[in-house]
Amino acid sequence: MTATPSRHPFDPLTPQEISQAAHHVRAAFPNQDAYFRVITLSEPPKADMIQFLEAESKHDIPQTRLARVAMVQAFLGPRDSDHFFQLKVDVTSGKILKQAQLHGCHPHVDASDMQRIERACLDNSGVQDAIKAMQLPEGALVKIEPWTYATDGMNDMSQKINMCYFYMHLSHHPDANYYAYPLDLCVEVSGNARVLNIYSLPNGTSNEISTTARPYDQKKIHDSNVEYHPDLFLEHRTTTKPYHVSQPQGPSFVAEGNLIR
């Protein structure tokens, strides 16, 4: 497998190069299940790039093409902190240039992680009781947004922790604006989808966090003006005016891939 020639060392990895990097990692660790979290460009050393950019500014063709290197973060084996690695991979040759175990580090959250954490919240009996205690309006749908977080020395962060913030929307439309209805409920969930703590957030002048849910304030229910999807607007704005952009001779720059001249 060979890499697609790149016109510039700072060009992002192409889809083909990303696939090649993943292929090289799997080939280097055939007995490990590779679960990729990041595959992106590892930029060339600064000294090499200075030489390249100086030659480029003089319209000289560099004598040596800089290697295309991918920075890869992946689980190699079980998906736990003991098997989380960062590698640098030469996309063309397939050589593993560098390998380091990321002790105490956690990967980026992705959609599957968020769905798993959300389901753990909704299935937890304590969370279900807290939702019932809020006495939400009839027909309200609960929406959960998980976020990863860390504390500066306050907690043991050797394991990933997620904070789940709760919202509701009063429409079954998939694009209803649930941000208009934040709930006081917040749930702390471990990286392996175990509910750790359930909090009732402060909603007034006090900064005190409680573990007892409070009924939802029905006065906070808005009308359709909080919606942004066209299907949910009762009336549309009619006061917008035309906006014209004219460049008879075209733009004053040229884009060559990711390079602007």
Q: What is the CATH number of the domain that holds 128?
A: 3.10.450.40
- pTM (whole model) above 0.85: no
**Residues contacting residue 58 through CB under 8 Å, at least 6 positions apart:** none
116, 185: one domain: yes
Domain identity same for 69 and 134: no
Asked if residue 143 and residue 55 are part of one domain, the reply reads no
* 237 inside domain: no
- The answer to the question of residue 127 being in a domain is yes
Residues 76 and 146 in one domain: no
Last residue of a domain, one of 66, 101, 136: 101
Owner of token pair 């990863």? 148
Is 181 part of any domain? yes
Residue 72 CB contacts under 8 Å (≥ 6 apart), including other chains: 21, 22, 25, 36, 38, 39, 86, 87, 88, 89
Is 249 a domain residue?
no
Full domain range(s) for residue 173: 111-220
Q: Could you identify the residue written with the tokens 């849910």?
A: 213
Please tell me whether residue 140 adopts helix, strand or coil conformation.
coil
* 189 and 125 inside one domain: yes
| Dihedral angle over CA of 113, 116, 121, 124, nearest 10 | -140
Whether 182 contacts 165, CB under 8 Å? yes
- Looking at the structure, do residues 144 and 216 belong to the same domain, yes or no? yes
pLDDT tens digits, the chain, 261 residues: what are they? Answer: 454 455 689 999 999 999 999 999 999 999 999 999 999 999 999 999 998 888 888 888 776 788 999 999 999 998 887 899 999 999 999 999 999 999 878 888 888 889 999 999 999 999 999 999 999 998 899 999 998 877 666 666 677 888 999 999 888 888 989 998 999 999 999 888 899 999 988 876 666 777 677 788 777 777 667 888 888 877 778 899 999 999 999 999 998 888 888
- Based on the structure, what is the number of domains in the chain? 2
